[in-house]
Structure 1
Amino acid sequence: MPQPGRVAVIGLDSATPQFMFDRFAEDMPVLSALRQRSLWGPMRSVDPPITMPAWSCMMSGRTPGELGVYGFRDRAAHDYGPLAFATSRSIKAPRIWDEMTAAGRDSVVLGVPGTYPTTPIRGAMVSCFLAPSTRAEYTSPPALRDELEKLTGGYSLDVENFRSPELERVSQQIFDLTEQRFKVARHLAARQDWEFFSFVDMGPDRLHHGFWKYCDPEHPRHEPGNPYQNLFRDYYRALDRHIGDFLECLPENTSVLVVSDHGAQPMVGGLFINEWLRREGLLVLAKEPDGPTPMAQAHVDWKRTTAWAEGGYYGRIFLNVEGREPEGIVPAREYDDTLARIAGALERLPDDRGEPMGTRALRPEQLYPEVNGIAPDLLVYVGNLRWRALATLGMGQGLYTTENDTGPDHANHGDTGIFLLDSPGVTPGPADGLSLYDVAPTLRELLGLPGGGQLPG
């Protein structure tokens, strides 16, 4: 068992085993060498495999159900209003840096999703891409902001509008974001006192969403000979160099953990899930939409509506329950049967070619030991996450599309990320059965915090 010591976590949002361990392994000599001295393997993400809440699940050891956070946005009340954005205030469970602070020990947290607004910490925190802008107070202590602005010439929280046809701009900003994130990480690692260091680079995620069809010959909408067909390889080579530079700045005998919150896969298309509910007679509109209309702006006849949906990487179906929603019509005694009918119909739904789609429709009680907040009544993985769930109404395209309703996107999330742990006393080699929920007890064990567990492998 390793002695408690410094731990550095390199978080790569959306990094996938098929790229990091296989397709681009020869282009990433630093990561490949790290893998040779690490316990490593594919790592199962959470359900749903979404950035928010996955990083907070990873750093707390709690499920989305226990946290009461099911995505970037959640219902704040049993009404028909728009979903509310999840923030750091939504996370009630202590995360590793909270436990370190309580123990009087220093941490540095940089860009980890779920850290806006910043929370009290012994050490330093730089918020994530969910901060509205750099005009907001995105650092703790606040004075750190001026230091970062001077260091970078203008700190970047994220790639601006990464779902955009402006491919040259987006690609350059992805490379720039990753370069800057690692530069700031090296600066903070050298200047700050810390025993726990954790940062997340969003570059891989933005790359996958913006350019998958250009780089993957197996993507159904691949364009052979396009000018971006080598962009993935070029990016991962650059990322590998940045990882190497960061590793060189770490004190000797620092335990290093490289992880991702979820994986990625080609997006085959999108299902207009509210249009499907309309077709099934479960969602009734009082007025036809004049054009593309978000669900929150639709004129719904709630007294005749059984269910509605919110979209994104996965679909969320909510029942209009009598006594729960303001104009609910589903009696409590029919709740289970109604959900079962909807789930069964979705799972039988074929794709646009009449082929089996492989959709999974799950109740939160099937996924979590505890369900807090206002969870979806059904979590829907359309085509097992190969398809997006599109909530927009009035698109005039039937049930299926090859596009995304919030801008160009060629990838959806996958349920498998990466895990590499290089630590004194840990036996290197591949490991099976790794889970995102292994990370928090592993970090506690390495840091000598209460609640540590046997290390994976």
Structure 2
Amino acid sequence: MARRLFVLGLDSLPPYVLYEGHDGGGFKFIRGLVEDSARYLMRTCHPPITVPAWMVMFTGRSPGELGIYGFRHRRPGTFDSYVVTSQDVREPAIWDDLGRRGLRFGLFGVPPTYPPRPLNGFMVTDFNTPGPQKPYTWPPWLRQELQSSVGDPLFDIVYRTEDRDAARRDLLAMVENHGRIVKYLAEGKAWDAFIYVEIGIDRAHHAFWKYFDERHPRYTYHEVYSRVIPEVYSRVDSWLEEMARGPLRDSIIVIVSDHGTKSMHGAFAINQWLEQEGYLKLKERPRSPGTDLTPDIIDWDHTRVWAWGGYYSRFFFNVRGREPHGIVGREELEDLVREVKGAIMKIRGPNGEAWRNEAYEPQEIYPVAKGDAPDLTVYLDDLNWRPIGTVGWPSNYTDRNDKGPDDSMHDWLGVLSVYDPEGTVSRGDMGVIDITRVRGLLEELLASR
């Protein structure tokens, strides 16, 4: 009988935690599993963010080939944005191609899979699902079955909040809810491969990292909050141990993250900097710190560049003929891009310390760039500093995120371990694997069963 493949996706889990043992004692069973596994450092994509990283992993295509450059996208030629969904994924995923060959897949929480699309098997959609009042399963009737048997999924929580007690409560409830539903599906449904992504790991990191990681520049010990991340790890760990002795017995178990996590040293007001450098002009001085950059406050006749904030920054050039109020001629663009990239490299820290900044044009990081790619993708100080898009701050430097508490950043390296109970997969460190190569590895595992 062919063995099955179970993929546990732990969103944002870094090697520092899983391989170096900085888990606060939360991973006991999983650490033993990893010791008996093939272990890789998984290098993520540009940009290192949940959307598009999971779909890069499962399609084997870069963000440029997918035409997906982040969780939200700009509508071409406007200031408006939209949230990426499954309808924006036009490349086949592993479950599409192998499903046509007869393999049955189960999916839970894989971003972005809302709204649900047909597959050979079953799915429950991801954290971006608006709520249980919307269709969230394939096949459609699975939704009613879950509602009557184990309840609706908790798709996400509010994690950027000052009410950390509520964040902790909701986080633990969500992880428990996910585990209960996945157990029900794994035990009761037919599948050859099951992919479960737990977004709660990522939410725990963003909400509680400064209470957990002693390397954080604002590390604060708290008798409750400092235990939240290990508590979340422990819940997942105990769940997997139970599953490995039950429905996952004899299965190949893959543990993988889409990117890593690191401490946020601070935030940098990227549009304020663009204004100071003469690339962006506002009609008037913002009235309060943290003012959103909206099109009505921009002097478009004198603006050549503006940016979005986030864990990375996307720069857009005000190109004539492409933008509604474009002033930059196509013949000027190459020189302007070179000039702006040079200016970015000169950005230094609040005390004049050197930063490791990066700025890439689409063709520098993607084989092709479909859709509305940003003109530049920008990282500050090797992802230690968060670019924020709001304006009106007394300084370009602040120690906090402008959209609510968030004390961690994403990092380039995630984890990938492959445990085979029959021992046919090599044990030990296997080096670095690119995120686009993970799909091929999973296909090899499924073919070797």
**Range into which the TM-score falls when normalised by the shorter chain:** over 0.9
Question: Corresponding residue for 2:418?
Answer: 421
CA contact (8 A) 2:259 2:410 kept: yes
Question: Corresponding residue for 1:440?
Answer: 439
Distance in 1, matches of 2:282 and 2:241, equals 56
Alignment of 1:176-187 (within 5 A): 176-187=173-184
**What's the Cα RMSD here?**
1.8
- Matched residue pairs, number? 444
Whether 1:313 and 2:311 are equivalent positions in the alignment is yes
1:326-351 deviation line (CA, Å, top 9, x unaligned): 22122212212211111111121111
CA contact (8 A) 1:13 1:202 kept: yes
Distance in 2, matches of 1:142 and 1:26, equals 40
TM-aligned CA deviation for residue 319 of structure 1: 0.7
Distance in 1, matches of 2:330 and 2:154, equals 48
Question: Corresponding residue for 2:239?
Answer: 242
TM-aligned CA deviation for residue 81 of structure 1: 2.0
Change (3 A) 1:300 1:25: closer
TM-aligned CA deviation for residue 294 of structure 1: 2.2
Alignment of 1:276-287 (within 5 A): 276-287=273-284
CA contact (8 A) 1:189 1:249 kept: no
Distance in 2, matches of 1:446 and 1:315, equals 37
Secondary structure in 2 matching 1:344: helix
Alignment of 1:138-153 (within 5 A): 138-153=136-151
Change (3 A) 1:118 1:296: farther
Distance in 2, matches of 1:251 and 1:379, equals 41
Secondary structure in 2 matching 1:420: strand
CA contact (8 A) 2:103 2:120 kept: yes
Question: Corresponding residue for 1:452?
Answer: none
Change (3 A) 1:153 1:117: closer
Alignment of 1:107-146 (within 5 A): 107-146=105-144
CA contact (8 A) 2:175 2:232 kept: no
1:68-104 deviation line (CA, Å, top 9, x unaligned): 0000011231x13222211111111001111133223
1:10-66 deviation line (CA, Å, top 9, x unaligned): 111011111112212854221122112210132111111100000000000000010
Question: Corresponding residue for 1:75?
Answer: 74
Secondary structure in 2 matching 1:308: strand
TM-aligned CA deviation for residue 172 of structure 1: 1.8
TM-aligned CA deviation for residue 170 of structure 1: 0.5
Question: Corresponding residue for 2:31?
Answer: 32
Alignment of 1:51-66 (within 5 A): 51-66=50-65
Question: Corresponding residue for 1:49?
Answer: 48
Secondary structure in 2 matching 1:33: helix
Secondary structure in 1 matching 2:226: coil
Aligned partner of 1:349: which letter? Answer: I
Distance in 1, matches of 2:234 and 2:124, equals 26
TM-score (normalizing by structure 2)? 0.94
User: In percent, how many aligned pairs have the same letter?
Assistant: 36
1:82-141 deviation line (CA, Å, top 9, x unaligned): 222111111110011111332233111100011011111121110101111111111112
Whether 1:207 and 2:204 are equivalent positions in the alignment is yes
TM-aligned CA deviation for residue 184 of structure 1: 1.2
Distance in 2, matches of 1:269 and 1:103, equals 49
Aligned partner of 1:231: which letter? Answer: V
Whether 1:369 and 2:367 are equivalent positions in the alignment is yes
Distance in 2, matches of 1:109 and 1:24, equals 27
Secondary structure in 2 matching 1:321: coil
Partner of residue 328 from structure 2, selected from 323, 327, 330? 330
Partner of residue 217 from structure 1, selected from 214, 218, 225? 214
Aligned partner of 1:402: which letter? Answer: D
CA contact (8 A) 2:307 2:316 kept: yes
TM-score (normalizing by structure 1)? 0.93
Change (3 A) 1:184 1:339: same
CA contact (8 A) 2:211 2:226 kept: yes
Secondary structure in 2 matching 1:207: helix
